[in-house]
Amino acid sequence: MFGFFKKYDAHLCSAVSGLILDNGKPVVDLKIERLLVDFDSKERKDSTITDQNGAFALPAVNIRSRSPASLFRELLTHQEIYLKRDHTSFTLWSTTLWGVEPIAAYDRKLSKLNADLKNPLVFFQFANDYVSHIKHGARSICRWDTDFEIHHIIEDETI
């Protein structure tokens, strides 16, 4: 019945880089964690440590999947990038990637995950290169100079 176990490439996350400050000062030796939950409900975790400038980077995540690519499946990956400090979690990026292709608009945002821990967490929107009337959206404490529209501040992250 299923002839769909051929392997194919699936993109789960862009390459990530950024800078973490606390009230303008670099946050050094802090663990930055990434959690990806793919369309097979599989969790992938990796992490890195900020350097003396507060900078960090994580590679793009691409997998070879055997998961059936049937029409009846929407392939989406939840992307979560965060750090924990003094028992508080700070969200650098939280959104869903629809499909298994890289999205250039996501690449542009994830290559500049620049945050100050004093920033409030917001839901923001950014341009969709292919469909102008719908925008992408994500939660983050990061700020970008361009293509960054704050929709609202998140008061309670559990909702």
Partner 1 sequence: MRDLTPKIAVKLAEAAYEIKDKKGGHYKAPALDLLGQDFDFNLANNVVQGTSGSFMEHIFKHKTGFALIGTGKKNGSYSGHTVIALRGTANKRDAVTDMHCGLSTSANNLPAHAGFNKTFNSIRPVLNSYFTQNNTGPVHCVGHSLGGALANLTANWLHNKQSGRPISLYTFGAPRVGYASFADKTSNSLHRVFRCLHTADPVPLLPFWPFVHTEGEYTLNAAPTISANAHKMAGNAPGYISTASAFKSFAAVNKRNAHWHKEQVRLDYEKRHQASFTSKWAHRLGAALITLLKDTGYLYEIQHMITSGLTFYDKIAILLTKVANMPGKFAEQQRGMLGHMLVFSGKPGVVITEMSYKFIRWVLSVTLDKVALVAGHALSMGK
Residues found near partner 1 in the complex (CB under 8 A): 1-4, 35, 37, 39-41, 67-76, 78, 80, 94-96, 98-99, 123, 130-131, 133-134, 137-139, 151-152, 154, 158-159
65: which residues sit within 8 A by CB, 6+ positions away? Answer: 7, 8, 9, 10, 38, 40, 100
Number of H helices, E strands in the chain: 1, 13
What is the rounded distance in angstroms from the CA atom of residue 19 to the CA atom of residue 30?
11
End-to-end CA distance of the chain: 40
Shortest distance in whole angstroms from residue 158 CB to partner 1: 7
Q: Which two tokens stand for residue 124?
A: 């923001």
Shortest distance in whole angstroms from residue 52 CB to partner 1: 29
Shortest distance in whole angstroms from residue 128 CB to partner 1: 9
- Rank residues 74 and 86 by Cβ distance to partner 1 and give the closer one: 74
- Rank residues 11 and 78 by Cβ distance to partner 1 and give the closer one: 78
